[in-house]
């Protein structure tokens, strides 16, 4: 995979977060050696080319939906978004990453809030890096820093509820099931944003999924620290915890 401008920006963001006092360093401190190895192994097993292809398709599809949302709901494109997310969820379940996610996710956030300022900062920077910067986010009509923080705070609010950590660790949890019950399916994500401003922002949740996949994969492939697979896995898990809680709560 070629290292382009996006990869360079993502790598800079992840390397900064991986410092001892950075959020990825704090996540690592909450995992023991065995848990780190399990996460590395699970992340290694993922087909990163497949996930990157789906994430880039999601990025292009969401950009098209957002650019023309005042003219058309783009029903077909909305359904394509969910099809891509479902394919990614199926892959995470099939490869065994789900079990590693269940083991690492809750422990990574031990003594940490989901809306810790360092986490919010990392998510916002990855969204900016992956989506093309503030100018492009503005062109798409996204107030990314504000909306990303709102979604993460929403997840923290429901962290201890039935759709929070307890749901993640329960036997039989799958990403397929989690995404299947998301608000806004199959073609009402724009209606949710317009008519339910108090609800989880579906569009921003999808944007977080895009940034999560592309950022995690680039971090794993190009990190120069020698622990790229672990860093990629940590980025994946951190964002997925928020996403799973948000889509689980629904509207």
Along the chain (251 residues), what's the average pLDDT of each consecutive run of 10 residues?
A: 76 87 93 92 91 94 91 91 95 95 94 95 94 90 83 93 93 93 83 54 88 86 65 92 88 67
Residue 49 CB burial class (10 angstroms; 0-12, 13-18, ≥19): exposed
Residue 47 has a pLDDT of: 93
Task: List C-alpha distances in Å: 140 to 42, 61, 112, 248.
Answer: 34, 12, 32, 26
Residues 6+ apart with CB under 8 A from 126: 10, 13, 211, 212, 215, 235
Residue 169 has a pLDDT of: 94
Residue 192 has a pLDDT of: 64
Residue 251 has a pLDDT of: 67
Residue 221 has a pLDDT of: 72
- Rounded-to-integer distance, Cα 89 and Cα 225, Å: 28
- Rounded-to-integer distance, Cα 26 and Cα 98, Å: 22
| Alpha helical stretches, state H, 48-174 | 48-67, 75-95, 97-108, 117-131, 134-139, 144-157, 165-169
């Amino acid at each position: 995979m070629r290292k382009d401008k996006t990869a360079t920006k993502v790598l800079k963001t992840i390397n900064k977060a991986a410092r001892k006092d950075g959020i990825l360093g704090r996540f690592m401190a909450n995992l023991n050696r065995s848990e780190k190895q399990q996460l590395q192994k699970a992340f290694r097993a993922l087909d990163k080319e497949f996930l990157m292809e789906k994430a880039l398709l999601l990025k292009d599809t969401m950009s098209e939906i957002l650019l023309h949302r005042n003219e058309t709901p783009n029903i077909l494109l909305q359904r394509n978004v969910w099809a891509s997310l479902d394919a990614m969820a199926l892959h995470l379940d099939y490869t065994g990453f789900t079990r590693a996610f269940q083991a690492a996710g809750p422990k990574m956030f031990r003594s940490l809030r989901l809306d810790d300022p360092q986490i919010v900062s990392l998510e916002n920077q990855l969204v900016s890096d992956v989506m093309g910067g503030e100018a492009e986010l503005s062109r798409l009509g996204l107030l990314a820093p504000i909306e990303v923080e709102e979604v993460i705070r929403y997840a923290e609010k429901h962290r201890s509820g039935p759709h929070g950590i307890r749901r993640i660790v329960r036997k039989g949890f799958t990403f397929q099931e989690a995404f299947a019950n998301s608000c806004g399916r199959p073609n009402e994500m724009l209606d949710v944003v317009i008519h339910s401003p108090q609800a989880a922002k579906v569009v921003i949740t999808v944007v977080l999924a895009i940034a999560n996949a592309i950022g995690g994969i680039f971090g794993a492939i190009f990190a120069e620290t020698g622990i790229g697979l672990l860093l990629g896995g940590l980025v994946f898990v951190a964002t997925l915890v928020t996403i799973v809680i948000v889509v689980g709560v629904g509207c």
